[in-house]
A and B are shown apart, each in its own frame.
Chain A
Amino acid sequence: MRPAQVRLDGWGWRHAGRGAWATSGVSLRIEPGQRVLLLGASGSGKSTLLHALAGVLGSSDEGEEAGSLTVDGDRPRPGTCGLVMQDPDAQTILERVGDDVAFGLENLAVPRDEIWTRVRQALAEVGLELPLDHSTERLSGGQRQRLALAGALAMRPGLLLLDEPTANLDPLGVEEIRDAVGRLVSDRSTTLVVVEHRIATWLPIVDRVVVLAAGGGVVADGPPDQVFSVHGHELAALGAWVPGIGHGLVPRVTPMSRGAVLSAHDLTIGYEADRPVRTVAALDIPEGISTTLTGANGSGKTTLALTLAGLLPSLSGHVEASPAIAPAGGRFIMLSRRVGGSHGESAMRRYESPTYHDEPVTPTSREPIRTDPGQWRSRELLTRLGTVFQDPEHQFVAASVADEIAIGLRALKRPTPEITTRVAELLEQLHLTRLAKANPFTLSGGEKRRLSVGTVLATSPAVMFLDEPTFGQDRRTWVDLVRLVTAQLDAGTTVVSVTHDRDYLDLLGEHHVHLEAAS
């Protein structure tokens, strides 16, 4: 491996069909063996630049190029640089670990005997010593990212490009990747360019920081200490997690809870009756405070949250909502359903309500109270149990941002003027007013996240579930989210979050539940 030299002279790129340049006027020279952290506001073209260096930006059909960009004096060709991207799922190519690493070598027409030696070596370098026929489906996010890194390394690139490689990982996965990269670049045999919001993670490794301006060009360039002392606050405002500049938030004073708003007893959860994910003997969600759920990959955190939120029916046992939020009314019918295998038969009650009860009823109501959220009607959930999904795109149903927020309110048949006011208010609060007419799928990651939270806030549920709300978010969106959640808590909402984020836990771990790995 010989480290590569990178030169950009007034370089820019405009994607075909777009009016604005993704990035422009970038002049930069990276010497062989340097390790560069590339920063910039969202939309400053960091990913575009990395893709250009990897040679995967495409031909002139796919965009317009300005200036020049060379790696070791040549236009970059695909397969000469190693590229690791953000999404662990989307860059695992083949079904077997060994094949996935070998893929690039096959494409470079490396002879067969040499391929397997290099595959084993690359897997050892990233610390992923698994059988070569191990299924890639069974890897954790951190393992998948190390697999992608091994796939890039096996090709012995002179330039390693990392595009937010740890944004979707839990803290353990982040360390795994950082340490693996650290070992690889320690002898300066590879030039490194890494894009990432979480600066502290990469600080021990990089020796130069380059900041791209949103409008094009380079704003700052130099050793990390120097760049952060001059531009630290500016970068923090752009969304980077600058070392020494925290989020500036303090934990609120936790009020006394009035009791459990939801409780689970002898619960078995899962998507299919014959494949239970785990059991939960007893769990209370205290009203009016923030509950955080943590646990290793595969411990069933998300499944538990979806079950408590009334979205997944429990396989056995039950979830019980407090009378304060449970809807009342309706006939109820005893049904029995086979729940399969070892769970035996269990009687399940299903209710059919002739009228829709919008507001929570008081325990003094004469009508029977229906306490199992899994049996509530979809509309009954809106004001009671709201859920923000891990992937915001899963919950988008409308053609515009404003409609997306209005949909829950329309399902509740609220009067139009009230809907208009509430939507405008939320758009303002979420900094989405100028995007009111945009299609939700076209928003940036942070905007999508804020909108997905907004869709739930719109109907003011008594309990709000958030699945990994801060995953992959930059500092600005992070602070916005934590403020929103805290404001909801102060207004009396109960919040349940599935999270890996230590800072989030420090601020909002008022009632902390750690799930041990499911047996």
Chain B
Amino acid sequence: MSVVNQAPHTALDRVNPVTRIAAAVIVSLPLLVTLDWVSGATMVGIVLVTALALGFGAGFIARRVWPVLALAPLGGLNMALYGKPGGAVHVDWFLVHVTDNSLRLAVAVMLRVLALGIPAILLFTGIDPTDLADGLAQVWRLPARFVLGALAGFRLVSRFVDDWRSLALARRARGLGDTGAVRRWATMAFAMLVIAIRRGSKLATAMEARGFGTAARTWARESTVSRADLVLIASCVVAVAVALVAAASAGTFWAVWS
């Protein structure tokens, strides 16, 4: 399925997909509650070096993270112009106050966006939905009914894309393609809804006929966590600690509540 994008083979393939999600949470939490440039810069550095060491190519990283790279300066610019003023004033015009403090904030925000975005993108890249479902149900013990229902439903999404395209072409064939975009969209949305419900209920019948949801089930493939998962989580904790200690020793540590 096209939703599963071509990701390079990396050492991350050896960890359970749910561990990747846990790792992303561990990396981002401390960064969400602090706001200084040293911890952000340290984190970006650690993440890039680790990603290259894990086997992500530089070209692949660049292709994947460019939206974050584009977003970061925007956030930074906002902070520079409108951030909390303090210290020497460089520009003062209407609502715009560019000061030492706001410039410091701008740099910190830019680094923060990168430090949050890059690891999240790389960790979520190439997670196979089937493997993720195995992990969610077996490692995290989420209800099988919910996890497998979502997984089977997810498969229907690509069919809906085809349906929507046919619906649009059919409107053109019926002479409704020139005007009345809102009305046309409404007829397509209605048809899509009917088709989706039909297909969903057929799928539910097929699943029920195969005994789904009746009693305790087994799993054809065991989803486990191993030492590799432990190493990933431990590395994330260490990376976060290094970033925070670096900020503290540089004297820039700045929690959002202070």
Contact = CB atoms under 8 A, between A and B. Distances in A.
Nearest to A306: B169
B205 A56 contact: yes
A102 B178 CA distance: 49
Contacts of B163: 394
Nearest to B173: A387
A381 B176 CA distance: 10
Max chain B C-beta neighbours (<10 A), residue from A92, A107, A378, A441? A107
A79 B205 CA distance: 11
Interface in A68-106: 77-83, 85, 87, 89-96, 98-99, 102-106
Interface stretch (A214-222, A233-241, A406-414, A485-493): A406-414
A137 B178 contact: no
A94 B151 contact: yes
Given A92-B155, A137-B158, A79 B210 contact: yes
Interface string A281-306: 00000000000000000000000001
A112 B172 contact: no
B70 interface: no
Interface string B189-209: 001001100010011011111
Contact of A103 (B159, B195, B210): B210
A249 B205 CA distance: 39
Interface string A110-137: 1110011001000000000000000111
A78 B213 CA distance: 10
Given A90-B203, A107-B212, A397 B217 contact: no
A155 interface: yes
Contacts of A502: none
A393 interface: yes
Given A109-B218, A311-B173, A85 B205 contact: yes
B211 A108 contact: yes
A312 interface: yes
A379 interface: yes
A432 interface: no
B251 interface: no
A148 interface: yes
A112 to B, nearest CB: 6
Interface residues of B, number: 47
A99 B169 contact: no
A85 B155 CA distance: 18
Contacts of B177: 377-379
B174 interface: yes
A271 B2 CA distance: 15
A18 to B, nearest CB: 16
Given A95-B129, A378-B172, A387-B173, A56 B208 contact: yes
B175 A93 contact: no
A170 to B, nearest CB: 19
Given A91-B203, A94-B152, A271-B165, A377 B178 contact: yes
A378 B178 contact: yes
B93 interface: no
Nearest to B154: A95
Given A78-B211, A393-B195, A89 B171 contact: no
A472 interface: no
B1 interface: yes
B222 interface: yes
A394 B170 contact: yes
B94 interface: no
Max chain B C-beta neighbours (<10 A), residue from A87, A90, A111? A90
Max chain B C-beta neighbours (<10 A), residue from A54, A96, A379? A379
Nearest to A412: B175
Nearest to A309: B173
Interface string B212-238: 111111111110000000000000000
B187 interface: yes
A151 B166 CA distance: 30
Contacts of B252: none
Contacts of B216: 109
A396 B159 contact: no
Interface of B: 1, 129-130, 151-152, 155, 158-159, 163, 165-167, 169-178, 187, 191, 194-195, 199, 202-203, 205-222
15 contacts: A56-B205, A77-B214, A78-B212, A91-B202, A91-B206, A93-B155, A93-B210, A311-B173, A378-B174, A379-B177, A387-B173, A391-B166, A397-B174, A407-B174, A407-B176
Interface of A: 51, 54-56, 77-83, 85, 87, 89-96, 98-99, 102-112, 115-116, 119, 135-137, 148, 151-152, 155, 271, 306, 309, 311-312, 377-379, 381-382, 386-387, 389, 391, 393-397, 407-408, 411-412, 441, 455, 459
